[in-house]
Amino acid sequence: MLRLFQYYRPYKSYLLLAVVSNLLMSLFMVVSIPVLQPFLQILFSAGGAESPELTGTAGSSSGFQAIEQKVNAFFANLIETHGREEALLIVCAFLVFTFFGKNLFRYLSLFFLAPVRNGIVRDLRQKLVGKMVHLPLSYFSEERKGDLMSRISADVQEVEWSIVGVVESVAREPIIILGSLAFMIFVSPQLLIFVFGLMLFSGLIIGGVGRSLRRQSGEAQTRLGLIGSLVEETLGGLRIIKGFNSEQWQLERFGRENTGYARTMTKLYRRKDLASPLSEFLGIAAVSVLLWFGAKQVFSGEITAATFITFLYAFYNIIEPAKQLSGASYSIRKGMGALERIEAVLDANSSIQDSPNPQPFTQFREKVEFRDVSFRYQNADRPALQHIDLVLPYGKMVALVGASGAGKSTIADLLPRFYDVTDGQVLIDGFDIRQLRLYDLREQLGIVSQEAILFNDTVRNNILFGSEGVDDEAVFAAAKAANAHEFIRALPEGYDTNIGDRGSKLSGGQRQRLTIARALLKNPPILILDEATSALDSESEKLVQAALDRLLQNRTALVIAHRLSTVQHADEIIVLDAGQIVERGTHESLLLQKGVYRKLVELQAL
């Protein structure tokens, strides 16, 4: 529970006002209980000016008796001065005032609570997304995207409901219950025994019902995350699903998870919904016992009928807050289950972090070196790379070639520290990249991947992505160099055209040229190029290749080559097989070796 309260700190002023409003509302509610007694005494008194007899119990303390005598004297004087009907009118006006104050402060408590609940929800979502952005890529290979999205949406929403439950239940209900109990002690300690019996009995039963709620809530949110993942996979893979006539198979797969979630939620709601009827039944049972026992005290003259009716009203004011408190406990347990899932992400270990004492670095000048580098993915059976030694000199182009799974992309991912090496070092100008600030390191790099990664935004903002203080002329120049300016001008709104989710409104060649324009605008000293033309038609390939040639001019480049014809002019070609370097050299020297590289060239020539 203390973990939840730490999120309240930035909103403590609003929270304090909400708590004070709840306390004042509770006080008005408690004051309305004894005010009802003189109303009933005046109503039941036989004579027009007869003073009400507010009878306490024989066991009442002298302090309570003194209060009782003063109240009796006040209302006796009120009736003598104004008459019975006018005194009744004054009491009614006071009742209206107390309930007006109660509802006014009830509204004010919710008014001040609104920025608290919305602010905490905003903060949690901001922290979650911020954490996800900074988590290493290895984390996401173990987690489902749909489950992470569920934590941002459904789990955060559950915590919001718990926030309301905590503030209202802690600040309001106990005051009402304690105030009502104090009045009931004043009236009849014997009758109060039944109330404590009810509370003890209710607590044992309802507590037993709710113990598994927190566990089931976590299970439900996990299943909801799986459903989100399946929906995301279905929407992203519709072309394949339809192409393989697998609609029914995918629907059945989704149906199993959907049915499991529905069953879990049914159990959850049944337990939650049991609280209200159970509390009501126990309340009615206790009221029945109170009516019998209290009537006996009225018949024996120990208390008056008006006092007994007021006692019942006080008891009713305990039952409803007790039900609310019980319901809030369910909500809080569900919220804590959701908070645990949220904090599992917030507390996730981020292995890719800045060094405590980073080396200053502003500009790449000499070389990038992979020195005896080995790397193994988490839970992998074998290393992805073993004893890799290569040098990427300033202004030179080094190409990585080999079959799928040889380790080409892994080498490229180690340079920007998407992953950290298992053994060995990656150095830039002699500095181990783990000793540099991530921001400084990645400022030296530009990445053009095989898959054109674009965002649901305008053409202009996709080219500007990550760049600040850049004018339109620079954007236009980058687009022209990437052979993209002409097709952008032909779009409905030119550079202000929204390109849709992942650039879905553009062709493959157009999307790729936008990513090249983005890299050209950043103008990085080191370029990581995952062959960007392998999935394009011939016409698009020519346009993209021409843009890449401009991008590579006078630039240090690490190129992953799928089409070997695109890297024939590389300064050095590294041939990889099963995570090891098996050959290295220029295009001509490797052909003369008649080894792996020559076989790859001959296979592509067929």
**Alpha-carbon torsion angle 418, 404, 566, 482, nearest 10:** -40
Nearest partner of 224 among 162, 163, 157, judged by Cα:
157
Percent of the chain past pLDDT 90, that is, above it, reads 8
Residues in CB range of 413: below 8 A, 6 or more apart = 137, 419
What is the reported pLDDT for 214? 57
Q: Which residues of 79-97 are buried (b: 16+ CB within 10 A; e: fewer)?
A: beeeebeebbebbeeeeee
Query: Does pTM top 0.85 for this prediction?
Result: no
Range list of H helices, 507-560: 508-522, 538-552
Model confidence pLDDT, tens digit, residues 278-314: 666 766 776 677 777 778 777 877 777 777 777 777 7
Q: Is the pLDDT of residue 400 over 80?
A: yes
CA 572/CA 414 separation, integer angstroms: 19
Nearest partner of 226 among 201, 176, 174, 261, judged by Cα:
261
CA 426/CA 430 separation, integer angstroms: 9
Predicted confidence band at 355 (pLDDT cuts at 50, 70, 90)?
confident
Considering the domain 2-346 in this protein, what is its CATH number? Answer: 1.20.1560.10
Is the pLDDT higher at 472 or at 334? Answer: 472
Nearest partner of 465 among 491, 481, 447, judged by Cα:
447
What is the reported pLDDT for 62? 43
DSSP 38-53: HHHHHHH-SSTTPPP-
What is the reported pLDDT for 283? 63
Bridge partners, 526 (sequence order):
445, 556
**pLDDT averaged over the chain?**
78
What value does the mean pLDDT take over residues 249-262?
A: 84
DSSP 8-state code for residue 461: H
Both structure tokens of 258: 């959907």
What value does the mean pLDDT take over residues 178-195?
A: 72
What value does the mean pLDDT take over residues 16-35?
A: 80
CB 459 within 8 A of CB 453: no
**Alpha-carbon torsion angle 78, 82, 83, 84, nearest 10:** -50
What value does the mean pLDDT take over residues 17-43?
A: 75
User: How many CA atoms does the CB half-sphere of 534 hold within 13 Å?
Assistant: 17
CA 481/CA 475 separation, integer angstroms: 10
Model confidence pLDDT, tens digit, residues 490-526: 888 988 998 887 788 888 788 888 888 888 888 888 8
What is the reported pLDDT for 68? 53
CA 419/CA 320 separation, integer angstroms: 56
Both structure tokens of 486: 């002409």
CA 43/CA 80 separation, integer angstroms: 15
What is the reported pLDDT for 46? 42
CATH topology assigned to domain 367-605: Rossmann fold (3.40.50)
Q: Is the pLDDT of residue 386 over 60?
A: yes
How many CB atoms are located within 10 Å of the residue 281 CB? 11
Phi, psi of 112 (to 5 degrees): -75, -25
Burial of residue 266, with CB atoms counted within 10 A of its CB: 0-12 exposed, 13-18 middle, 19 or more buried = exposed
Q: Is the pLDDT of residue 55 over 50?
A: no
Q: Mind spelling out the 3-state secondary structure of 75-121?
A: HHHHHHHHCHHHHHHHHHHHHHHHHHHHHHHHHHHHHHHHHHHHHHH
What value does the mean pLDDT take over residues 139-155?
A: 77
What is the reported pLDDT for 59? 41
Q: Tell the residue number behind the tokens 């049991």, with chain if given.
A: 274
Predicted confidence band at 37 (pLDDT cuts at 50, 70, 90)?
low
What value does the mean pLDDT take over residues 540-549?
A: 72
Predicted confidence band at 605 (pLDDT cuts at 50, 70, 90)?
low
Q: Is the pLDDT of residue 424 over 70?
A: yes
Domain parsing of the chain, residue ranges = 2-346, 367-605
Residues in CB range of 188: below 8 A, 6 or more apart = 57, 294, 297, 302, 303, 307, 311
